[in-house]
């Protein structure tokens, strides 16, 4: 009985010692946090931690700063303090706010710890991060080349979330015309804070686009759920397999008339100068090969002889070609005039041999030869 009473009394005594000793050592120590941040430093928080020893005893301990995710303490995280009675201590603290901090309210905590590692004081200061929903859209490849009409066209757009909240977005791809009959295609997705996402769109061009050498795909980005547009861009599709135009090998800068036609004209080119002209061309098949004829003849009333230029007759048979009349050859030395030519072309159209002569006379019936 006496043993149990002594045991209970001793336990109460130990509890009183454990309670009274910290209270006596830490009595009168006050912790405060002052926010000295300025508006022109939006990503830096300036704090002043104030420790006041209003008691009659020496105090030794440390100040510890803890920050939430996305905040970085530039100052030391733990600072040793030794204070005399009545002494005040002011500790500057700088905290950097990263761009990936989620919007909303966060708390920065400051603890005062004594020499026995007991937390004797704790203060928190709230910090509100404003919402930033900045987005950016850019094409992965501003120019896309289409070299096979049987392949689909692939267009890529990169969307970057530069803000501090998760974004739900919709990209709308607009093409001039598609075989499915719709010109708007939507792609949706969500993008985390400070992350990128690539949206890929593939389509088969219509027959109209296949004949076009170039067309543009427009891309617009919308922020959900209000369909607020945040940017737009475009991708140029260069169709190197499209239908091309080539100059007729029987046409040159000296003629602008149609085949299988003859045109006669009269012009008054001066007060006493009249001009008569006949121009034409045509061809027809023979039992073996075909024949092609072209002519240009004009005369003026002050010239005794007409001028016959750009006039010749050409016979084609298999890989052989014989030409007689006006010749026009752009070689190392340009040759223009009347003459004759034989040309042989290989079956694979890869090699060609030409033999002939040109006397450099402008008109086919020029009396004074070169």
pLDDT digits (tens, 9 = 90+) for 171-201: 999 887 755 556 788 889 999 888 899 999 8
Q: Is the dihedral of CA 355, 356, 357, 362 positive or negative?
A: negative
Rounded distance between C-alpha atoms, residue 51 and residue 45, angstroms:
19
- pLDDT at residue 27, rounded to an integer: 55
The reported pLDDT for the residue numbered 370 is: 60
Tokens (6 digits) for 58: 């020496």
Pair 34, 50: CB distance under 8 Å: yes
Classify each residue of 277-301 as buried b or exposed e, where b means 16 or more C-beta atoms within 10 Å of its C-beta: bebbbeeeeeeeeeebebbbbbbbe
The answer to which of 22-31, 36-45, 90-99, 274-283 has the lowest mean pLDDT is 22-31
> pLDDT band for position 121 (50/70/90)?
confident
pLDDT reported for residue 199: 93
Closest to 140 (Cα-Cα) out of 32, 233, 239: 233
Residue 16 has pLDDT above 50, yes or no: no
Query: Where do we find the tokens 């004081």?
Result: 121
pLDDT of residue 7: 46
Q: Quick one: pLDDT at residue 182?
A: 61
CA distance 271 to 15: 134
Work out the angle at residue 186's Cα, subtended by the Cα atoms of residues 184 and 188, and round it to the nearest 5 degrees: 170
Q: In this predicted model, what pLDDT tens digit does every residue of 297-348 receive, in sequence order? A: 988 887 778 888 889 999 998 889 999 998 887 776 777 788 899 999 887 7
**Are the beta carbons of 54 and 30 closer than 8 angstroms?**
yes
For residue range 96-110, what is the model confidence (pLDDT) as tens digits?
A: 888 777 777 888 889
Name the 3-class secondary structure at 205. Answer: strand
The mean pLDDT value of the chain amounts to 79
Two structure tokens written together for 336: 């223009």
130-171: pLDDT as tens digits: 778 889 999 999 998 888 777 788 999 999 998 888 889 999
Distance CA 64, CA 76 (A): 9
Closest by alpha carbon to 259, among 267, 249, 268, 269? 249
Q: Residue 15: pLDDT above 50?
A: no
pLDDT of residue 359: 84
- The values of phi and psi at residue 343, to 5°, are -130, 140
What is the number of other CB atoms lying within 10 angstroms of the CB of residue 84? 9
Q: In this model, does residue 76 exceed pLDDT 50? A: yes
What pLDDT, on a 0 to 100 scale, did the predictor assign at position 159? 93
| Residues 228-273 pLDDT 10s | 899 999 999 888 766 555 444 444 444 444 567 888 888 877 677 8
Looking up tokens 């121009």 gives 279
- pLDDT band at residue 369 using 50, 70 and 90 as cut-offs: low
Q: Would the pLDDT of 222 be above 90?
A: yes
Alpha helix locations (H) across the chain?
A: 2-26, 207-210
Task: Give the integer Cα–Cα distance in Å for 188 and 74.
Answer: 40
Q: How confident is the model at residue 6 (pLDDT cuts 50, 70, 90)?
A: very low
Give the torsion sign (CA, 163, 165, 166, 167): negative
Query: d(Cα 312, Cα 294) in Å, to the nearest integer?
Result: 6
Q: What is the pLDDT of residue 259?
A: 65
pLDDT value of position 136? 92
Percent of the chain past pLDDT 70, that is, above it, reads 84
Angstrom distance (rounded) from CA 91 to CA 82? 13
Q: Residue 283 in contact with residue 294, Cβ under 8 Å?
A: no
**Token digits of residue 68:** 């939430």
CA gap 61, 29 in Å, rounded: 11
264 DSSP β-pair partners: 278
The closest of 345, 337, 295, 285 to 315, measured between CA atoms, is: 285
Residues 362/311, Cβ–Cβ less than 8 Å: no
What phi and psi, each to the nearest 5 degrees, are found at residue 209?
-70, -30
pLDDT of residue 40: 66
Q: How far is the C-alpha of 290 from the C-alpha of 250, rounded, in Å?
A: 14
Q: What is the pLDDT of residue 169?
A: 93
The answer to whether the CB of 107 falls within 8 A of the CB of 68 is yes
Going by their DSSP bridges, the two strands 228-239 and 143-146 should be labelled as parallel
């Amino acid at each position: 009985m006496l043993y149990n009473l002594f045991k209970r009394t001793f336990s109460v005594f130990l509890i009183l010692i454990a309670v009274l000793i910290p209270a006596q050592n830490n009595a009168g120590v006050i912790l405060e946090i002052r926010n000295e941040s300025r508006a022109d430093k939006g990503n830096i928080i300036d704090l002043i931690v104030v420790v006041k020893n209003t008691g009659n005893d020496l105090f030794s301990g440390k100040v510890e700063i803890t920050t939430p995710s996305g905040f970085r303490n530039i100052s030391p995280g733990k600072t040793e303090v030794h204070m005399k009675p009545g002494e005040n201590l002011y500790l500057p603290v700088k905290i950097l706010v990263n761009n990936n901090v989620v919007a909303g309210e966060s708390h920065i905590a400051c603890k005062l710890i004594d020499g026995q590692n007991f937390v004797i004081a704790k203060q928190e200061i709230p910090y509100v991060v404003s919402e930033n929903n900045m987005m950016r859209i850019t094409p992965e490849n501003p120019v896309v080349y289409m070299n096979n009409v049987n392949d689909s066209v692939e267009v890529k757009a990169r969307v970057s979330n530069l803000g501090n909240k998760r974004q739900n977005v919709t990209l709308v791809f607009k093409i001039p015309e598609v075989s499915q009959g719709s010109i708007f295609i939507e792609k949706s997705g969500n993008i985390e804070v400070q992350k990128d996402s690539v949206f890929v769109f593939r389509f088969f061009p219509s027959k109209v686009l296949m004949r076009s050498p170039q067309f543009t795909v427009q891309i617009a980005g919308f922020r959900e759920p209000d369909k607020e547009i945040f940017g737009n861009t475009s991708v140029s599709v260069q169709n190197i397999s499209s239908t091309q135009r080539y100059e007729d090998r029987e046409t040159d800068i000296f003629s602008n008339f149609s085949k299988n036609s003859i045109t006669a004209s009269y012009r008054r080119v001066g007060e006493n100068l009249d001009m008569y002209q006949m121009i034409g061309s045509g061809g027809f098949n023979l039992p073996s090969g075909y024949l092609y004829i072209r002519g240009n003849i004009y005369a003026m009333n002050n010239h005794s002889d007409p001028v016959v230029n750009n006039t010749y007759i050409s016979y084609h048979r298999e890989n052989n070609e014989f030409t007689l009349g006006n010749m026009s050859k752009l070689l190392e030395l340009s040759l223009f005039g009347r003459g004759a030519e034989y040309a042989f072309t290989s079956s694979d159209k890869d090699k060609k041999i030409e033999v002939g002569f040109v006397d450099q006379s402008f008109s086919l019936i020029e009396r004074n030869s070169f």
